[in-house]
């Protein structure tokens, strides 16, 4: 790894760009000639913005395929679509990598009702069952609600205060945090692990405040994980406005009973596939640079921002390089991962197969933060590798892609880290992302064509620079 990074640093001319710019400024009437890299990146942006295919590909995926939860017929249809698209684009090799995935079904629509008493009328709550949660069947479950704002409060209640009740986790995403992903990361354990912890204490159900800073009536689903030996219970996310209302009623001190009816079920694991297309390298074909997004989505909405945009941007990156006649030095792969949402089995399978075959993955990039305006890239690697990527930032300044530095990458490529792979996360503006994340609102119409194409151009440009400079 160290020698790769040193070669990168030695070959990159941009470490000395500030010196060159100063020298040029001292010579009136002279201009700094565009470098080969600058010229090529301009061609990448022109191709993406004038002759781009990513928006049409996204339309096909969202409208012709639709939502595509792992194990579903929609997921298989998406696999077939991805394979056909990459074959039609004439990538050098296109293949399917088999992976066994979880198969959870939502079933009929959920019913969550805050039962009235006295003069209070019953109120229907906007809710979505969480992935891997249990169904109640047609008889449903009725029980009093106990609210906790964090895990410490749940622990203080103990089994005596939880058994036979529905636990309501009212932990909001922190609106003061500028990076919305950080706020999501703080709140997500209440959805991911909260129901299992409640079940261990004897709860008969769990309600979780939806993970968004928006105050609206839109519920956000997502996966929940039950520990081995813990019997799953019905678990649902409720909209933030319903969470506010329920919280207010519970603070009055009056017992609040809720009726839950879900028809979810977990079926035997199913066979599915990662979809992989590659362009073979001309000099070091045995070394691989991967770019990808996840093909699966939740079973509400159309999975447009999560992660249809990442899928089509990854395909588009290879298409643009081919359209410009660029022959990569290394082998470049576009990987459409299966099962990021509720298992990560596609990402793990890809890394396992890479290790089994002795493949050398020198870098991997992932887009899984929506298709909004690009702002930069984060790098999960050694300090030397991070510095080398940061040194490329001046090339992106005119395109308003300004944030480069250490940080997370992506769930699907993370299993490659033990191989010493440089992991890179594509970062768009996410201020609106969690308003629609995991909801029925995540549709094609919510994606802006130009923002999507700008992201594809930024990713393609960095992919090109990685190929050109890494050893």
Q: Please report, rounded to a whole number, the percentage of residues in the chain having pLDDT higher than 90.
A: 92
Helices (H), 358-428: 383-390
Side by side, the strands of the sheet bearing 141-148 are 123-124, 111-114, 257-261, 141-148, 166-169, 205-209, 235-238, 127-129
**Mean predicted confidence (pLDDT) in 70-89:** 98
- Strands 111-114, 257-261: pairing is antiparallel
The pLDDT tens digits of the residues spanning 43-77 come to 999 999 999 999 999 999 999 999 999 999 999 99
Which H or E run contains 361? strand 360-366
Residue 209: φ, ψ to 5°: -65, 130
* Neighbouring C-beta atoms of residue 326, cutoff 10 Å: 19
Q: What is the pLDDT of residue 26?
A: 25
DSSP label at residue 248? H
- Strands 360-366, 284-294: pairing is parallel
Confidence label for 23 from pLDDT (cuts 50, 70 and 90): very low
Confidence (pTM): 0.92
Decide if 48 contacts 56 (C-beta within 8 A). Answer: no
Active site includes 283?
no
Whether 116 has a pLDDT exceeding 80, the answer reads yes
Token pair for 367: 């887009």
Domains delineated in the chain? 2-102+268-469 (3.40.630.10), 107-263 (3.50.30.30)
Place of tokens 């081919």: 322
Token pair for 260: 């839950």
**Mean predicted confidence (pLDDT) in 110-121:** 91
Confidence label for 140 from pLDDT (cuts 50, 70 and 90): very high
The pLDDT tens digits of the residues spanning 402-461 come to 999 999 999 999 999 999 999 999 999 999 999 999 999 999 999 999 999 999 999 999
Q: What is the pLDDT of residue 120?
A: 85
Q: Pseudo-torsion of CA 56, 60, 61, 63, nearest 10°? A: 120
The pLDDT tens digits of the residues spanning 291-335 come to 999 999 999 999 999 999 999 999 999 999 999 999 999 999 999
Ranges of beta strands (E only) in 245-311 are 257-261, 265-279, 284-294
**Mean predicted confidence (pLDDT) in 146-172:** 98
**ω into residue 307 within 30 of 0, thus cis?**
yes
Catalytic residue among 110, 340, 341, 453: 340
Confidence label for 34 from pLDDT (cuts 50, 70 and 90): low
The pLDDT tens digits of the residues spanning 168-188 come to 999 999 999 999 999 999 999
């Amino acid at each position: 790894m160290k020698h790769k990074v040193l070669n990168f640093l030695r070959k990159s001319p941009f470490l000395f760009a500030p010196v060159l710019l100063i020298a040029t400024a001292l010579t009136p009437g002279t201009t700094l000639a565009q470098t080969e890299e600058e010229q090529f990146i301009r061609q990448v942006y022109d191709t993406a913005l004038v002759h781009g295919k990513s928006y049409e590909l996204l339309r096909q995926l969202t409208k012709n395929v639709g939502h595509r939860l792992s194990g579903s017929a929609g997921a298989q249809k998406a696999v077939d679509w991805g394979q056909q698209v990459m074959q039609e684009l004439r990538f050098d090799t296109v293949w399917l990598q088999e992976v066994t995935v979880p198969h959870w079904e939502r079933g009929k629509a959920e019913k969550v009702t805050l039962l009235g008493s006295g003069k209070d009328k019953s109120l229907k709550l906007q809710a979505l069952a969480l992935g891997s949660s249990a169904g109640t069947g047609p008889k449903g479950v009725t029980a009093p609600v106990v609210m906790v704002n964090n895990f410490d409060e749940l622990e203080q209640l103990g089994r005596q205060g939880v058994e036979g009740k529905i636990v309501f986790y009212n932990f909001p995403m922190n609106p003061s945090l500028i990076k919305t992903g950080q706020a999501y990361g703080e709140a997500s354990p209440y959805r991911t692990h909260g129901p299992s912890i409640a079940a261990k204490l004897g709860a008969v159900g769990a309600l979780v405040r939806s993970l968004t800073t928006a105050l609206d009536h839109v519920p956000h689903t997502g996966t929940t994980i039950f520990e081995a030996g813990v019997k799953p219970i019905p678990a649902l996310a409720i909209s933030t406005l319903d969470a506010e209302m329920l919280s207010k009623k519970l603070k009055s001190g009056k017992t609040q009973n809720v009726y839950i009816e879900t028809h979810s079920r977990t079926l035997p694991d199913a066979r599915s596939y990662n979809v992989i297309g590659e362009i073979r390298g001309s000099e070091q074909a045995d070394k691989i640079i991967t770019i990808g997004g996840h093909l699966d989505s939740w079973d509400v909405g159309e999975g447009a921002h999560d992660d249809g945009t990442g899928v089509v941007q990854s395909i588009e990156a290879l298409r643009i390089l081919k359209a410009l006649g660029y022959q990569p030095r290394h082998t470049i792969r576009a990987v459409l991962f299966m099962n990021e949402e509720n298992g990560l089995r596609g990402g793990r399978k890809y890394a396992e197969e890479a290790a089994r075959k002795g493949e050398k993955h020198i870098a991997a990039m992932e887009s899984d933060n929506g298709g909004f305006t690009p702002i930069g890239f984060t790098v999960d690697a050694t300090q030397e590798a991070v510095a080398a990527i940061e040194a490329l930032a001046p090339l992106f300044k005119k395109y308003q892609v300004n944030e480069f530095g250490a940080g997370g990458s992506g769930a699907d490529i993370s299993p490659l880290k033990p191989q010493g792979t440089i992991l890179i996360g594509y970062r768009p503006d996410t201020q609106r992302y969690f308003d629609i994340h995991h909801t029925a609102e995540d549709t094609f119409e919510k994606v802006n064509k130009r923002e999507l194409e700008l992201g594809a151009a930024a990713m393609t440009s960095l992919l090109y620079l990685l190929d050109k400079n890494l050893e």
